[in-house]
């Protein structure tokens, strides 16, 4: 049912994402309803399709953001039993800032979300988009959400990386799983990352993976589905 959740309003878009099982958790539904995609996508914001935001970058289709959040849910919400009173989340390739805002809603007031962009103009765009709403401004003013310029392949720059992250979302396709990202992942923790398929020989095939690090440091990888993302590369000169 991917690509079939478009609506004429935010409520209709979210309703269709739920009906098509892209969203299955009520907490995710409420987060999507609280963040208006129109603040982040200027044209047809409730269409279930990616859109250009300039600089050769797109804002992903809503169903892709929904799938990313659903797969990260065990690690992006407060859980006292697991010691996550305030989850720390890293959003690499934060782009428009839309998913960064959604993750902040789920993390709660004690959580922290760091958005990393290698294009400085997009870093400012994400910050400006979030400031369009009262809730977004509150996240920024409290310091719960921070946008920084950096090389996402190396994770968050110091000192923001100190202490690591419960969840890491990567919004561009990596050539491989960079060790810096795994080093910044807490135990337990999860990475949601698109990567180039092994043995692809430049054909452009990619798959989304979850990378889990258990409490004892054991790392397991699971392939979810094929995708097409922009590459995780150097910033354009």
Confidence of residue 204 (pLDDT cuts 50, 70, 90): low
Task: Give the chain's domains with CATH numbers.
Answer: 59-227 (3.40.50.150)
Q: How far is CA 137 from CA 126, 144, 165, 218, in A?
A: 12, 10, 23, 38
- Tell me the average pLDDT of the chain: 91
Backbone phi and psi for residue 10, each to the nearest 5 degrees, phi listed first: -60, -45
Given 5, 60, 94, 173, which residue is catalytic? Answer: 60
> What is the average pLDDT across 97-105?
98
> What is the average pLDDT across 185-205?
80
pLDDT in the model for residue 201: 44
pLDDT in the model for residue 110: 94
Q: Is the pLDDT of residue 85 over 90?
A: no
* Structural contact between residues 139 and 94, judged by C-beta atoms closer than 8 angstroms: no
Q: Is the pLDDT of residue 227 over 80?
A: no
Backbone phi and psi for residue 231, each to the nearest 5 degrees, phi listed first: -75, 150
Q: Is the pLDDT of residue 233 over 80?
A: no
Q: Is the pLDDT of residue 148 over 70?
A: yes
First-to-last alpha carbon distance for the chain, in angstroms, is 39
Q: Is the pLDDT of residue 202 over 70?
A: no
> What is the average pLDDT across 54-72?
93
Supply 170's token pair: 């990567």
d(CA 196, CA 170): 13
Q: Is the pLDDT of residue 28 over 80?
A: yes
pLDDT in the model for residue 1: 42
- β-strands 145-149, 112-117 pairing: parallel
* Structural contact between residues 53 and 96, judged by C-beta atoms closer than 8 angstroms: yes
Q: Is the pLDDT of residue 134 over 70?
A: yes
Q: In the annotation, is 120 catalytic?
A: no
């Amino acid at each position: 049912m991917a690509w079939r959740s478009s609506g004429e309003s935010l409520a209709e878009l979210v309703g269709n994402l739920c009906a098509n099982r892209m969203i299955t958790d009520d907490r995710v539904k409420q987060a999507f309803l609280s963040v208006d995609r129109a603040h982040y996508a200027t044209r047809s914001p409730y269409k279930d399709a990616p859109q250009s935001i300039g600089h050769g970058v797109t804002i992903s289709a809503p169903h892709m953001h929904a799938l990313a959040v659903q797969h990260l849910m065990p690690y992006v919400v407060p859980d006292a039993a697991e010691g996550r009173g305030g989850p720390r989340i890293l959003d690499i390739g934060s782009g428009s800032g839309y998913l960064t805002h959604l993750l902040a809603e789920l993390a709660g007031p004690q959580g922290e979300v760091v958005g990393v962009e290698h294009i400085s103009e997009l870093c400012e765009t994400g910050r400006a988009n979030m400031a369009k709403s009262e809730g977004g401004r509150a996240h920024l003013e409290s310091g719960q959400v921070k946008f920084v310029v950096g090389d996402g392949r190396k994770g968050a720059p110091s000192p923001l990386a100190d202490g690591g992250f419960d969840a890491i979302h990567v919004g561009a396709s990596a050539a491989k799983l960079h060790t810096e990202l795994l080093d910044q992942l807490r135990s337990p923790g999860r990475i949601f990352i698109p990567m180039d398929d092994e043995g692809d020989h430049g054909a452009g095939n990619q798959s989304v993976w979850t990378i889990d690090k258990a409490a004892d440091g054991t790392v397991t990888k699971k392939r979810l589905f094929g995708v097409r993302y922009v590459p995780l590369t150097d910033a354009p000169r």
